[in-house]
Amino acid sequence: MKIAIIGSGGREHALAHQLRKSSKLSEIYCIPGNAGTEKISINIDLNLENFHELYEVLNEKKIDLVIVGPEKPLVEGVVDFLESKNIKVFGPRKKVSQLEGSKIFTKKICDKYKIPTANFKICNSKDEAFEFLSSANFPLVVKADVIAAGKGVYICKKIQDAELAINDIFGGKFGKTEQLLIEEFLEGDEMSFFIISDGITYKTFNTAQDHKRVGEGDTGMNTGGMGAYSPSSLINNELEDKILKKIIDPTLKAVSAMGEKYVGFLYAGLMIKNNEPFLIEYNVRMGDPECQTILPLIDNDLVEIIDACCNSNLKHYEIKWKNKKSMCIVLCSKGYPEKYNKNIEIKNLNESESSEKHYIFHAGTKLVNNKVLAIGGRVLNFVNLSDNFSSGRKEIINEIKKINWEGGFYRSDIGYKVINE
């Protein structure tokens, strides 16, 4: 089978790595990929905004199956487009991708299907938002109704913070908008919960804990994710049952009621309080870096599982997981998530070899004249499988030190809530 993966991050490198283990795979392409995928697949540099160009390439290479990594092409309808050209694609269609594309769309589903989530108010103008603030309790959360890679979310401790957020959003900081969302601030612990679905059946696809803030102790600015570990220490049978019954099942019922089906990974960002789940947001894809952490734990042939999803055949498979702890630490360019330098060489990469328990997945890298250059904020993902998170973290930090990249930094406290030292 010839497979193409769309995307260029650590998630896509981890997917390519896992798919390559399958005997069913003949060729793998990454569009556009990075320096890591270039070593294990064929990278094709392409403008992903242009679906026609994408189709031409897929058709010319006789691709059997396309896997879409990031949210942007999903929300823009790449699945609908490729399906209309008779190409098999793994990922949700445009209409259901609104689960990530519009927080208001998801909140309306939560309301109709009584899905536990933060209380909210949809505001259609600045005046309405300011009026609401005058009698609101703080802290609260103000959100732009866009995909802004986590940047459209403002946690507001006082009224002045909320006023600033409202001015930013209606001022067009995240594009032209007619609406925003104001939410109750939820207390608790966050967890990333995943399922994989073929449109008829779904299976759980493990859990992870992501560290989104740039600084040690979860402080400072929000990022795409500085590290993660799997499984989450919060999960237990009772909680999983509640998540499925109160959140996932009603959401899939809402998808059916729209005349749609959900094919792909679905990622529920949850807040857990007293073993009760609340939905913060949906993402219509795997998380990044959660994917890098979760995939090395899978004990199935991933090509078989994803192909089964595209053939509405998932019910015949049982997804199995290694009884290991997995951790990922992200090495970033100094300055991230704000300004950082680009095209900086990463030397010494050969000092750290991947093995069956240690992986390096590339993110913002590019191979130029046989040199690996950092071109993005999040650059390399170091993943380790071990019997406990503490030794896993030590081993990762050893590997990062071997590379000793002076242009980079990382959080050395990933997993601090489950490591007592």
By beta-carbon proximity to ligand AMP, the closer residue of 61 and 173 is 173
Omega prior to 139 cis, within 30 of 0: yes
Strand pairing partners for 120? 183
372 makes contact, choosing from ligand GLY, ligand AMP, none, with CB < 5 to 8 Å by partner type, with none
By beta-carbon proximity to ligand AMP, the closer residue of 55 and 282 is 282
Residue 287 engages ligand GLY in binding (rule: CB under 6 A): yes
Q: Which stretch binds ligand AMP (CB under 6 A): 59-67, 184-192, 289-297, 314-322?
A: 184-192
Q: Which of 37, 283, 365, 384 binds ligand GLY (CB under 6 A)?
A: 283
By beta-carbon proximity to ligand GLY, the closer residue of 147 and 306 is 147
Q: Are 281 and 103 in contact (CB under 8 A)?
A: yes
Q: Taking every pair of C-alpha atoms in the chain, what is the biggest distance, in angstroms?
A: 62
H or E stretch at 160: helix 159-170
Residue 281 engages ligand AMP in binding (rule: CB under 6 A): yes
By beta-carbon proximity to ligand GLY, the closer residue of 170 and 265 is 265
Residue 277 engages ligand GLY in binding (rule: CB under 6 A): no
Residue 190 engages ligand AMP in binding (rule: CB under 6 A): yes
Q: Are 403 and 349 in contact (CB under 8 A)?
A: yes
Residue 199 engages ligand GLY in binding (rule: CB under 6 A): no
Residue 153 engages ligand AMP in binding (rule: CB under 6 A): yes
Residue 276 engages ligand AMP in binding (rule: CB under 6 A): no
Strand pairing partners for 184? 140
Can you tell me the distance from the alpha carbon of 118 to that of 141, in angstroms, rounded to the nearest whole number?
A: 10
Sketch the per residue contact string, 158 through 197, with ligand GLY: x for CB under 6 A, - otherwise: ----------------------------------------
Can you tell me the distance from the alpha carbon of 95 to that of 82, in angstroms, rounded to the nearest whole number?
A: 15
Q: Which stretch binds ligand AMP (CB under 6 A): 18-26, 182-190, 199-207, 252-260?
A: 182-190
Residue 288 engages ligand GLY in binding (rule: CB under 6 A): yes
Residue (of 391, 368, 393, 369) closest to 382 by Cα position: 393
Q: Are 141 and 154 in contact (CB under 8 A)?
A: yes
User: Phi and psi for 366 in degrees, rounded to 5?
Assistant: -145, 140
Can you tell me the distance from the alpha carbon of 62 to that of 54, in angstroms, rounded to the nearest whole number?
A: 12
Residue 100 engages ligand GLY in binding (rule: CB under 6 A): no
Residues 6+ apart with CB under 8 A from 79: 68, 89, 91, 92, 93, 94, 97, 263
Rg of the chain, C-alpha, whole Å: 21
By beta-carbon proximity to ligand AMP, the closer residue of 43 and 117 is 117
Q: Which stretch binds ligand AMP (CB under 6 A): 91-99, 183-191, 290-298, 411-419?
A: 183-191
By beta-carbon proximity to ligand AMP, the closer residue of 58 and 129 is 129
SS3 content of the chain, % helix, strand, coil (to 5): 30, 30, 35
Omega prior to 231 cis, within 30 of 0: yes
Q: Which stretch binds ligand GLY (CB under 6 A): 43-51, 244-252, 284-292, 320-328?
A: 284-292
Residues 6+ apart with CB under 8 A from 137: 184
Q: How far is the CB of 118 from ligand AMP (least distance, A)?
A: 4
Q: How far is the CB of 144 from ligand AMP (least distance, A)?
A: 10
User: Phi and psi for 250 in degrees, rounded to 5?
Assistant: -60, -30
Interface with ligand AMP by CB under 6 A: which residues? 118, 141, 150, 153, 183, 185-186, 190, 212, 269, 280-281
Interface with ligand GLY by CB under 6 A: which residues? 210, 225, 283, 287-288, 290
